Amino acid sequence: MSKIKVKNPVVEMDGDEMTRIIWQRIREKLILPYLDIDLKYYDLGIEHRDATDDKVTVDSANATKEYGVAVKCATITPDEARVKEFGLKQMWKSPNGTIRNILDGTIFREPIVCANVPRLVPHWNLPVVVARHGFGDQYRATELKFEGAGTLKLTFLPKDGGAPVEKEVFQAPGAGVTMAMYNLDESIRGFARACFNYALDRGYPVYLSSKNTILKVYDGRFKNLFQEIFEAEFKARFDAAKLTYEHRLIDDMVASNLKWNGGYLWACKNYDGDVQSDTVAQGYGSLGLMTSVLTTPDGKTVEAEAAHGTVTRHYRMHQQGKPTSTNPIASIYAWTRGLQYRGKMDGTPDVVNFAHTLEKVCVDMVEAGKMTKDLAILIRPDHPFLTTEEYMDAVDAELKRRMA
């Protein structure tokens, strides 16, 4: 079997713990035997991020800008316990957050639906695509712990030397915490364009959620800019496609989402998207069945990753030499989604076809009863399951057959 040539390079970002082990197996077993591909490798494992003072994360994001497509393994975002565990120089920021801010992209999370995996929300028979704004808010906030009574102020100093704008936030009677966060008009506009373009592409209506009743200026800006962009650039195309756009309050949207049966794009602010995408993933069965793609507003830069964490619990078992039944599907889809974009950008349909075939094999294996434990127990408590290795061997054997 001759290898399929991938025309342009793909940036590969390695990660941590169990997902790092699985990532390597995917690369060696399901990617490199089939593709002639130039991978620009960056090690985003926590030790290497620490050794490079997180420069490797910035470098990987800039490489993604250069080459247009990246595939990323799950990574650790350190808390105090992790700082101790690895003896880190400091509590490094989330690599995903850093990459998102550099690319200023939107994250689209879409469930992988397997017919035989029961859903917690049984009537979700169509995908709910959660679009998460990838810039600013809590993820780039500056926090401060203050030790006693005092005055909290927000100050804006115009670059053109204009008069400073100052707002008193709070007269603190005692010790407490504060935080300042921000967003940019240009980023919100880009987010709106990315959402409307993706929705047109997939044939979905769009709902933006915010809490503009409380955050009249901050969330109000999201609502107003989305409406402006929609009216000026997308309304005619949405009308032609019989699609709609609407803003809803976040609490109303959360409730509606549970009642409806899917088939729409839900545009969320950064934090809302972080939280709600996990709720949606669980509603479809598992975070192990969730794709995550970061795209820029112009669609020319894409980073694909698994939507779950590094599966620490399984990694501890792996360290003890025990076999694990960790679901590799979302990590495989990180590769396939990245390759689909690479193939489309390069005009190489055989690369796109390979990626589609690998995705189909993953789902077909599950629907044929071959799956990891997380999915097996959703079907019934005593459903037989495979180890990670056995599942990947089954996928590999079927992929070989279909690619022959």
Residue 293 lies in a domain: no
Strands 35-36, 4-5: parallel, antiparallel or unpaired by DSSP? parallel
Determine, yes or no, domain membership for 292. Answer: no
Per-residue burial over 100-124, b = 16 or more CB atoms within 10 Å of its CB, e = otherwise: bbbbbbbbbbbbbbbeebebebeeb
Let me know whether 146 and 69 are in one domain: no
In this structure, are 34 and 87 located in the same domain?
yes
Q: Each residue's pLDDT tens digit in the chain (404 positions)?
A: 799 999 999 999 999 999 999 999 999 999 999 999 999 999 999 999 999 999 999 999 999 999 999 999 999 999 999 999 999 999 999 999 899 889 988 889 988 889 899 998 999 988 899 999 988 999 889 999 999 999 999 999 999 999 999 999 999 999 999 999 999 999 999 999 999 988 987 789 999 999 999 999 999 999 999 999 999 999 999 999 999 999 999 999 999 999 999 999 999 999 999 899 888 988 987 778 888 899 888 888 999 999 899 999 999 999 999 999 999 999 999 999 999 999 999 999 999 999 999 999 999 999 999 999 999 999 999 999 999 999 999 999 999 999 99
Tokens found for residue 169 = 């936030």
pTM of the model: 0.82
Domain containing residue 57: CATH number: 3.40.718.10
Asked if residue 25 and residue 38 are part of one domain, the reply reads yes
CA distances for 195 relative to 129, 130, 395, angstroms = 10, 10, 33
In a shared domain, residues 178 and 189:
no
DSSP state at residue 139: G
Within this chain, do residues 312 and 400 fall inside the same structural domain, yes or no? Answer: yes
Same domain (yes/no): 175, 189: no
Beta strands in 188-308 (DSSP E): 206-210, 245-249, 264-268, 290-295, 302-306
